[in-house]
Structure 1
Amino acid sequence: MGFRDIAMFNDSLLAKKAWRLLKNPKSLFNKVFKARFFPNYTIMEAKHTSGGSHTWNSILHGRDVLLRGCWRIGNGKAISIWQHHWLPRKHPPQVLSPMVDSLADAKVAILIEETSRQWNHEMIDGIFTPMEAKLVKAIQLSRYEAEDSLFWPFTNDGIYTSKSGYRFLKAEDQSEVEEEQRANLLRLNKTTISSHQIAATAKERLAEFALTIPRPQYPRVASTPFQTRWLPPSQGLVKINCDDATFKDQKKSGIGVAIRDENGMVLASMAKHLRQLYTALEIEAMAPSTALTFATQVGFHNGILESDSLVLTTALINNSTYLSTDGLLMEDIRFNASYFNQLLYSHVKREGNKVAHKLVRHALCILDFSVWMEDVLPPIRSAVLDDIVGFS
């Protein structure tokens, strides 16, 4: 390990201390430093001072690593449009559109309509380039006003770790070295290849080589997939099954919900057509939130929310914290859950969620959303009967 590696490792540890100051405001560690160095603002706005101790200046050095993270938009009041990192892309996460002089210090909040909690498309199209305008409008906003929050985009849950910080600094340093090497090679009129392209190029070469090798013929062995049946809820509860899907060719998404009683009978069902292609994580979080809203609207306040997303269900059961952009959608789920007297969470494999799965497939055939009370779409009734036969 060279000196450069040790320095990066030290920076990643200092960034962890800065993260603790940012995310644990009630800790003694935070109270001591805040009273002395940043009494009227957060550590993210703190500045280097001549009177600061070596420890404090070192923590600020680590804070500068965190500033290369990204902001999760809540109400947008703390995020500067042009100074902060907030676009949903890694390279680069800051806005590159030409700055509007009159909006040089403007916050992201001016781009959000307060009453509807939706993006102001007309304003966004007038400020950003078409590519960046599309990125902004694709960011999901919470239906309820929330605080802006810094998250670390290089971990799944958005929580900074020293390991992820070290890897980020190494990758950043490698990119700078490559840029310098590329510039030198261009001066010599030689072709270059980025390290990001090495893996893809190697796969292409391997695929070409594999085609030249004759493949042995193996006998096929029949396998039986693991079957998971839908199970009824306890008496007094309803089971709220939800599913989601993205339709890449049509650039659209869909959500399906089925609410059933202890006998397996459908009490209410719905299919919703979303005219936007969301990411897998976004639509997986939107489906339960939609399902809970629908359940309360039709009068149910005691139930079991069930989906075939193991990651999401586990996060809800464990009350996990997600600081990434998808974390706001998780907060929407918990907010909607507060309207229930009793709400449990359950995971089921796709085979046990086929009624909701068929409903979400139907979502592409409707204009907005469709609701069936005490029934489902006729072609889906057979799936309901299959579930009832399975547990009878």
Structure 2
Amino acid sequence: MGFKNIYAYNLAMLAKQGWRLVSNPQSLIAQLYKARYFPHCSFWEAELGDSPSFSWRSILSGRHVLAAGVKWRIGDGVQVNIWRDKWVPNCAQYLIQKPHQIEFEFVADLIDNQSRVWIPTTINSLFSLEVAANILAIPLSRRVLPDKLRWSPEKRGNFFVKTAYWIAREKVLENALTTTSNGNPTKSFGTDFGGLEFQNTLLPMINFKEWLLDCATNLKAEVFEKLMMIIWALWRNRNSMLWESASQTTQHMLLFTMAWLEDFQRASTTIAPTVQHSKPRWKLADLGQCKLNVDGAFVPHLTKGGLGGVLRNSSGQVQAAFAHTVHHVGSLKQFELLAIRKGLDYAKSLQLQNVTIESDCLEAVQEISCSDHDLTKFGAILDDIHELMTSIHGVQILHAPRSCNTVAHRLASIAFESDQQEFWLHSAPNCILDVVQHDCNHDT
């Protein structure tokens, strides 16, 4: 199975038991443990207590691993403590410090319950600009949903022992390097493992071969190639010192090694013959149906962007179009999902049926097609999209290449630059007439 450290593997398995308690608090076993060991606090604040069972001791031993990987997905914000819990993406916990004489305790205090949006003035007054920007970019569902814990190392948010093992292994390795004076690393790693003492043979040995295998598995190919070249250069430099009493400086060694690697890659690269492929073109909707193309425009360091969309009938005539500016968004994928949601909003308000929505973001379309989205990073937006789809008869969301989405892209770019909210009904704005005509002329 690839598990080479039995101690870390045991911790990962114990973290899985803890995950079952926190992810399903209504289960009988979770209620039993709560009533017995932490009736007046949360699982994260629970202590060993008097006369604890062997299973409870063991679960607490793996809690450190579980805490390192879980993060809250914000729903209504009622369960999440602003200052203690992990809930802000891309933000170290030490950056979230509670100011003096502040009464806000829970994330719900930062959300406008009527409009289901963040309260920018409150957030900007409590946090630094960087932290505030990350908070304002967290998507909120329009429905009042409960907060949920997600396993952050996994894309879909579900717990996996494999990723928990790597977290546990990293923690145990760190602890082995900073062991206490009595030589037992388990003493400083949380509570004792079920009350048992471990021999040093169960603790990890820093093995070069195992470390190199980890690097080969986890690093990108180009990074691993550079690492191997640096290791080779160090060995070559060591031999030169040993046998020739000559050595290179670090700077010279790195420059020589990277230049050699670049020459080797250039000599090994084969240039494939160029093949001309015709780009796919936008196609008319089927008779009696309509097609809504949507897109998002985004510049990462600005945390703002534009949403654009155009609705056309089976004859190619523009029925409606929109261009909206959106602030406080963290990624292009989030923008694409917001564009799809905005398109569904207009489709519902116009009482459309048998409408096809096209987006050039394949990852966003694939996310929507998956029913298991509750614990994903953008689960709040996906929940809104699924809710809207149930209210529109005959709606489908498909992927289209960028060359088939030029009109929506133009509108999204206009929204990004203009910083306005525009909507056109039964007519097309002058700014897109040329690309609309181009689509119609090339339709096959």
- TM over 0.5, yes or no? yes
Mapping of residues 317-356 of structure 1, within 5 Å: 317-356=369-408
**Equivalent position of 1:65 in the other structure:** 65
**Equivalent position of 2:183 in the other structure:** none
How big is each residue's C-alpha offset from its partner over 1:185-213, in whole Å with a ceiling of 9 and x where there is no partner?
xxxxxxxxxx9999598598565555677
> Does the 8 A contact of 1:80 with 1:106 survive in 2?
yes
Structure 1's 4 and 254: CA in aligned 2 closer, same or farther, altered over 3 A? same
How far 1:294 sits from its partner (Å)?
2.1
Q: Larger C-alpha radius of gyration, 1 or 2?
A: 2
**Equivalent position of 2:192 in the other structure:** none
Report which stretch shifted further, 155-164 or 120-129.
Answer: 120-129
Provide the aligned length of Structure 1 versus Structure 2. 372
Structure 1's 88 and 237: CA in aligned 2 closer, same or farther, altered over 3 A? same
How far 1:150 sits from its partner (Å)?
0.8
**Equivalent position of 1:188 in the other structure:** none
How far 1:179 sits from its partner (Å)?
8.0
How big is each residue's C-alpha offset from its partner over 1:164-185, in whole Å with a ceiling of 9 and x where there is no partner?
11122233445566789xxxxx
Mapping of residues 141-290 of structure 1, within 5 Å: 141-174=140-173, 207-209=258-260, 221-225=273-277, 227-248=279-300, 251-276=303-328, 278-290=330-342
Kindly, what percent of the aligned residue pairs are identical? 25
Task: Give the superposed CA RMSD.
Answer: 3.7
Amino acid at match of 1:116: S
Report which stretch shifted further, 160-169 or 226-235.
Answer: 226-235
Amino acid at match of 2:141: S
How far 1:250 sits from its partner (Å)?
5.3
How far 1:221 sits from its partner (Å)?
3.6
> Does the 8 A contact of 2:336 with 2:359 survive in 1?
no
> Distance in 2 between the 1:225 and 1:357 partners?
22
> Distance in 1 between the 2:130 and 2:332 partners?
21
How far 1:237 sits from its partner (Å)?
3.1
> Distance in 1 between the 2:14 and 2:278 partners?
48
Structure 1's 231 and 14: CA in aligned 2 closer, same or farther, altered over 3 A? farther
Report which stretch shifted further, 151-160 or 37-46.
Answer: 37-46
User: Given the alignment of the two structures, is residue 36 of structure 1 paired with residue 32 of structure 2, yes or no?
Assistant: yes
How big is each residue's C-alpha offset from its partner over 1:233-259, in whole Å with a ceiling of 9 and x where there is no partner?
344432221111212475531111111
> Does the 8 A contact of 1:82 with 1:94 survive in 2?
no
> Does the 8 A contact of 1:11 with 1:62 survive in 2?
yes
> Does the 8 A contact of 1:70 with 1:93 survive in 2?
no
> Does the 8 A contact of 2:65 with 2:167 survive in 1?
no
Structure 1's 250 and 57: CA in aligned 2 closer, same or farther, altered over 3 A? closer
Q: Structure 1: where are the runs of 5+ without partners?
A: 181-194
How far 1:46 sits from its partner (Å)?
5.8
User: Given the alignment of the two structures, is residue 85 of structure 1 paired with residue 81 of structure 2, yes or no?
Assistant: no
> Distance in 1 between the 2:33 and 2:332 partners?
42
> Does the 8 A contact of 2:333 with 2:361 survive in 1?
no
> Distance in 2 between the 1:313 and 1:334 partners?
12
Q: Structure 2: where are the runs of 5+ without partners?
A: 180-214, 231-253
Name the SS for the 2:373 alignment partner. Answer: coil
User: Given the alignment of the two structures, is residue 53 of structure 1 paired with residue 53 of structure 2, yes or no?
Assistant: yes
> Distance in 1 between the 2:57 and 2:397 partners?
46
Name the SS for the 2:436 alignment partner. Answer: helix
> Does the 8 A contact of 1:159 with 1:322 survive in 2?
no
| TM-score normalised per structure 1 | 0.80
> Distance in 1 between the 2:373 and 2:391 partners?
20
**Equivalent position of 2:19 in the other structure:** 19
> Distance in 1 between the 2:219 and 2:366 partners?
35
How far 1:276 sits from its partner (Å)?
4.1
Amino acid at match of 2:111: I
**Equivalent position of 2:409 in the other structure:** 357
Structure 1's 167 and 218: CA in aligned 2 closer, same or farther, altered over 3 A? closer
Amino acid at match of 1:37: Y
How far 1:99 sits from its partner (Å)?
4.5
Structure 1's 127 and 47: CA in aligned 2 closer, same or farther, altered over 3 A? same
> Distance in 2 between the 1:310 and 1:219 partners?
29
How big is each residue's C-alpha offset from its partner over 1:348-392, in whole Å with a ceiling of 9 and x where there is no partner?
121222221222122233231222223333343343334334444
| TM-score normalised per structure 2 | 0.71
**Equivalent position of 2:117 in the other structure:** 118
> Does the 8 A contact of 2:24 with 2:30 survive in 1?
no
Structure 1's 342 and 367: CA in aligned 2 closer, same or farther, altered over 3 A? same
